[in-house]
């Protein structure tokens, strides 16, 4: 049984039928075209590559630095677990570590918090001392905005209790139309059997598409490798098997070694916490690798 999700909410997820986007870059546009839009006869184009500014994040481990320094607009942060359903403490820990790496470089807002729902997005304005290249998002020189998308309200609540001020979590439905510089997608479900009961939600390609396309600079997909084996019952509508495996393969390629591998404890710099021994891997997208100098 899912929480606060229904067939009606699943059907409310719409694809943005646009051929050009100024929100995300060409790498993500190419991946989204391969993943879903080309089936609708749409070829997306977007802005030129715009790497995440290294000086605007503060990773405290090599694993975190690998995520933020990957020079890719989509990164998979994977772990090995098959036990969690609507609340996932492993993903909460991983996402919180990412959020704090961003928040360490984020200037506090005058009201002390975000002050608005996740979907509305923060205002952005050019700085007086820093010129923006063409097609670059106008972000403050000392701050990046970050949001977290998750399919379950229970996981949203768990994240909200841990995330630093200004980094907000919400469900896909409430976030559609919003955007942030950095988006973390918390898949939440790592139990394959439970995932199969959520075909309209966790296995819905349109919902996944909305989630990963909310970022201006970087999307980090946080998920269990167990999701790569789960396919909807109506698998004939998929070209290459399970939906999460298809996205991963199209983004990262086949038989590719991770850019970083270690444990949860090593990734977050806390080897005494719960689940510290869970294996974790970082896989940056290779879609735009041939285009980068």
pLDDT of residue 94: 99
What pTM does this model have?
A: 0.76
Return the closest-CA partner of residue 53 out of 176, 113, 136.
Answer: 136
Looking up tokens 């020079």 gives 71
Taking the C-alpha atoms of residue 267 and residue 220, their distance in angstroms, rounded to an integer, is 14
Instruction: Print the domain residue range for 273.
Output: 52-107+137-291
Number of folded domains that form the chain: 1
164 inside domain: yes
Taking the C-alpha atoms of residue 276 and residue 263, their distance in angstroms, rounded to an integer, is 6
130 inside domain: no
Looking up tokens 């060409």 gives 26
269 inside domain: yes
Residue 187's domain is classified under what CATH number?
Answer: 3.40.50
Split at pLDDT 50, 70, 90, the class of 19 is: very low
31 inside domain: no
C-alpha count within 13 angstroms, C-beta hemisphere, residue 11: 3
Angle at 100 between CA 95 and CA 101, to 5 degrees: 100
Put residue 138 in one of left, alpha, beta given phi > 0 → left and psi -120 to 50 → alpha. beta
Are 17 and 206 in contact by the 8 Å Cβ rule? The answer is no
Taking the C-alpha atoms of residue 145 and residue 119, their distance in angstroms, rounded to an integer, is 12
34 inside domain: no
12 inside domain: no
Mean pLDDT of the chain: 77
Split at pLDDT 50, 70, 90, the class of 214 is: confident
- Residues 280-290: pLDDT tens digits? 999 998 876 65
124 inside domain: no
């Amino acid at each position: 049984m899912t929480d606060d999700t229904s067939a009606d909410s699943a059907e409310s997820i719409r694809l943005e039928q646009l051929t050009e986007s100024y929100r995300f870059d060409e790498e993500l546009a190419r991946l989204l075209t391969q993943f879903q839009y080309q089936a609708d006869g749409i070829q997306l184009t977007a802005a030129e590559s715009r790497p995440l500014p290294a000086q605007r994040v503060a990773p405290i481990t090599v694993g975190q630095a690998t995520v933020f320094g990957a020079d890719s607009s989509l990164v998979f942060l994977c772990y090995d677990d098959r036990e969690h359903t609507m609340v996932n403490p492993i993903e909460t820990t991983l996402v919180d570590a990412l959020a704090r790496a961003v928040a360490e470089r984020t200037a506090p807002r005058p009201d002390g918090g975000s002050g608005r729902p996740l979907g509305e997005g923060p205002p952005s304005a050019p700085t007086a001392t820093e010129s923006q290249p063409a097609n670059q998002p106008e972000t403050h020189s000392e701050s990046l905005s970050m949001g977290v998308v998750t399919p379950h309200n229970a996981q949203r609540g768990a994240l909200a209790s841990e995330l630093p001020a200004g980094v907000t979590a919400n469900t896909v439905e409430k976030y559609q139309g919003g955007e942030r510089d950095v988006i973390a997608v918390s898949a939440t479900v790592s139990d394959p059997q439970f995932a199969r009961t959520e075909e309209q939600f966790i296995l819905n390609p349109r919902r996944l598409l909305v989630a990963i396309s909310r970022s201006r600079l970087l999307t980090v997909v946080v998920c269990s490798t167990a999701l790569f084996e789960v396919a909807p019952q109506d698998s004939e509508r998929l070209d290459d098997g399970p939906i999460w495996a298809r996205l991963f393969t199209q983004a990262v390629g086949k038989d590719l070694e991770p850019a970083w591998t270690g444990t949860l404890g090593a990734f977050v710099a806390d080897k005494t916490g719960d689940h510290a021994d869970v294996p974790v891997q970082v896989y940056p997208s290779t879609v735009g690798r041939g285009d980068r100098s």
